[in-house]
Chains A and B, each alone.
Chain A
């Protein structure tokens, strides 16, 4: 597939459209669109204009596709349940690909000077737990619970985007092709689950940027466990666990009670029988599907995209300029780089 074909296909999937639906919207036949997507034919200029209008992107963005490092439609690391429908996670994967391309487009004009980086490790040579400890050391993180995990990732130049996925069965996904990794996180998940997903995606970025071993998901979970709950620090607190004690620990460490239970078992301070008893109590109270106290945890709130937006505004860029810099057709389509709260709108002089 060509760069443009990949972009059309990705943007279509990201919007949940079939080939027939998009073809109708741009007034071409479905086979013609199929040929554009597979690089068998280049769309005429007027069709390119209609495509840009319908997709809400600039023509320059369409033409830009394929010129940057990394292909357009790249598989993302995704934390999801096996029961989720393929159409849903393919749509989310396409959305992440498109966000990455918008970020890449903006970073042609904007650069980030970060004090820290996301280091990469060879999963064959570095165990997941060791990689998590090394990352904490490199970032000079305080001992104990991780506060503001999103802030730590953003400080290393990672773009974190919160979006309602419309399903609880996909937690998040990440991708690292250009200089700045992008993580897409389900805003509908509880905070403790979001934090686990962020740590899990950080593991993929550190361990699986260029090589993926036999069981990347298990490696990412082991990394997340050590990163959020370092064994040497948390082990004494996990002895003699009760439901009440788990409640305290959840508030302190910002992770779910089930994650704490699993960690206690991994660290050898909770037997298999005790673990099963704990899970039976969770089930009785309906906590296996929805745990309490998640809303008491400090929310993970991305700030980097807003800071980029505010910096551009302070340099005299309008919201439309910023949208176009990132390849969006207009402010309404720009869901990535916008100030907090409702978007600013021009006020017509006649209404004053």
Chain B
């Protein structure tokens, strides 16, 4: 029997172990483990990998990979070590918007000998 691993990255892992994604027929089929109808004798293990997502605080957690049978039955789930490259989590900075112009400062002419010329503290 030939076994292959297929990993879906198009999901969100929640803190309570649930996953969520758009429920297309392809996704529903993907999450049901078992032999493929197309190639008898060809086994496929379907894993889902993504970052944990805290919906309350809108923050990303550790990367997680899980094996499940159907949406709600988790067979196992493991946190992955953080990778070397790339970046995840944090917040998207708000775009810098140029604000209004500050007033123009105009200074009255003074006699030059009014000035000290040095700073004394």
Contacts and interface: CB of A to CB of B under 8 A. Distances in A.
Contacts of B116: 318, 320-321
A112 B99 contact: no
Interface residues of B, number: 27
Interface string A317-352: 111110000000011100000000001111000000
A344 B100 contact: no
B56 A147 contact: no
Given A244-B57, A345-B121, A113 B106 contact: yes
B87 interface: no
Contacts of A272: none
B121 A332 contact: yes
Contacts of A111: 105-106, 108
Contacts of A116: 100
A346 B118 contact: yes
Contact of A345 (B55, B101, B106, B119): B119
Interface stretch (A20-28, A41-49, A150-158): A150-158
A114 B105 contact: no
A293 B90 CA distance: 11
Given A155-B101, A321-B115, A346-B121, A243 B56 contact: yes
B57 A157 contact: no
Given A316-B115, A345-B119, A345-B121, A307 B57 contact: no
Contacts of B118: 318, 320, 346
Interface stretch (A96-104, A183-191, A220-228, A296-304): A296-304
A232 B112 CA distance: 56
Nearest to A312: B107
A166 B107 CA distance: 35
A130 B114 CA distance: 49
7 A-B pairs with least C-beta separation: A155-B100, A151-B99, A114-B103, A112-B103, A148-B99, A311-B105, A113-B104
Interface of B: 55-58, 91, 94, 97, 99-108, 110, 112, 114-121
Interface of A: 108-116, 139, 142, 147-148, 151-152, 154-155, 157, 242-244, 247-248, 251, 292-293, 296, 298, 303-304, 307-308, 311-312, 315-321, 330-332, 343-346
20 contacts: A109-B107, A109-B110, A110-B105, A111-B106, A114-B103, A116-B100, A139-B100, A142-B97, A152-B99, A155-B102, A244-B56, A244-B58, A303-B102, A318-B116, A318-B118, A319-B119, A320-B120, A331-B119, A343-B121, A346-B118
